[in-house]
Amino acid sequence: MVEPLLHTDRLVKRFGGLIATDTVSIDVRPGEIHALIGPNGAGKTTLVSQLTGNLAPDAGTIHFAGSDVTHLPTHARVRLGLARSFQITSVLREFTALENVALAVQAHAGHSFRFLADVRRDETLRAPARQGLEAVGLGARAGTLASVLSHGEQRQLEIAMALAGDPKLLLLDEPMAGMGAEESQRLIGFLRALKGKRAMLLIEHDMDAVFQLADRITVLVYGRAIASGTPDEIRANAEVRQAYLGDETVEVA
């Protein structure tokens, strides 16, 4: 059995009386796409926030790439190879698309206590940034301010930024949110091409995308992981059908 890249052990997070994460143990293996699904309010974003270091769990541990990262700050986890995209688009609006990705490249190019050299002529940052933009299909928009990009383009930009540091694991928080059918399909194709090269934890409402992409699926309901398995196993799981999928969703796959 392969050593998992990411592993949470009985993670617990409470908000007052509410248990948002209820002893959740999940793992993501190298190269696989692991999807996290569940109805609204199931605690998916809370779980992701603990993985990224934006929220501290009340109990349990998080191991990533062989080390205990439970108490590491966000930027240190990113250095280890854990990148994320945001559910609500989060790009640097006052910067161009190219500058956004170049900053993401810069984050992994040693410290940035360099005060004099002009970053706008730094090909060691710009060349990989341009490649990253090409890869997600934004090559033609390199010089455009991020705030001017369409919603779908901003989502693509997010992915390019997350990929810039060559991460081991991508946390994708609803990457298809607000995308048109065509854009979604393009992104699905792009993510599928990445499969095997990079592990991904995919949080997504679009069941179509989930069943097309995921190697394994974990279902979260009221903070608890009620089931975990291959898409076929999840589709066949009676508890999942009752709690979440509903009969009409099943035919999707």
Partner 1 sequence: MAALLASLRTPRGLIVALILLVFAVLPLLTQAFDQRYLLSIGTRIVIWSIAAISLNMILGYGGLVSFGHAVFFGIGGYAVGILAANGLQSAWLQWPVAIAASILWAALVGALSLRTRGVYFIMITLAFAQLVYYVSAGLEAYGADDGLNISRSRFPGLIDLRDKASFYWLCFVLLLGTLWFCGRFANSRFGFVLRGAKSNDQRMMALGFPVFHYRLAAFTLSGAFGGLAGILLANEGAYISPAMMSWVKSGDLIVIVVLGGMGTLFGPLYGTIAFFVLEESLKPLLDLVHKGWGEYWQIVFGPMLVLIALYARGGIDSLLGRRHG
Among 9, 22, 58, 122, binds partner 1 (CB under 8 A): 122
- The answer to whether 120 touches 142, Cβ cutoff 8 Å, is no
Torsion sign (Cα): 234, 207, 225, 1: positive
- Cα 251 from Cα 241, distance rounded (Å): 12
Tell me whether residue 101 or residue 240 sits nearer to partner 1 (CB atom): 101
Q: Does 95 bind partner 1 (CB under 8 A)?
A: yes
Among 65, 103, 226, 250, binds partner 1 (CB under 8 A): 103
The whole-angstrom distance between residue 110's C-alpha and the CA centroid of its chain comes to 23
Looking only at residues 143 through 162 of this chain, which bind partner 1 when binding is defined by CB under 8 A? 161
Residue with tokens 């991020």: 146
Question: At closest approach, how far in Å is the CB of 74 from partner 1?
Answer: 5
Among 24, 28, 47, 91, binds partner 1 (CB under 8 A): 91
Closest CA to 48 of 26, 30, 32, 65: 26
DSSP 62: E
Q: Does 71 bind partner 1 (CB under 8 A)?
A: no
Among 8, 21, 46, 52, binds partner 1 (CB under 8 A): 52
- Cα 53 from Cα 34, distance rounded (Å): 19
Among 113, 123, 238, 248, binds partner 1 (CB under 8 A): 113
Q: Does 69 bind partner 1 (CB under 8 A)?
A: no
Question: At closest approach, how far in Å is the CB of 115 from partner 1?
Answer: 5
Tell me whether residue 37 or residue 125 sits nearer to partner 1 (CB atom): 125
Helix-helix angle 97-106:151-164, to 10 degrees? 20
Give me 201's structure tokens.
């934890």
DSSP 244: I
Among 2, 16, 17, 116, binds partner 1 (CB under 8 A): 116
Stretch that binds partner 1, among 55-63, 100-108, 131-139, 198-206 (CB under 8 A): 100-108
Residues 6+ apart with CB under 8 A from 125: 102, 105, 106, 109, 119
Contact positions vs partner 1 (CB under 8 A): 52, 73-75, 78-79, 83-84, 86, 90-95, 99, 103-104, 106-108, 112-120, 122, 161, 164-165
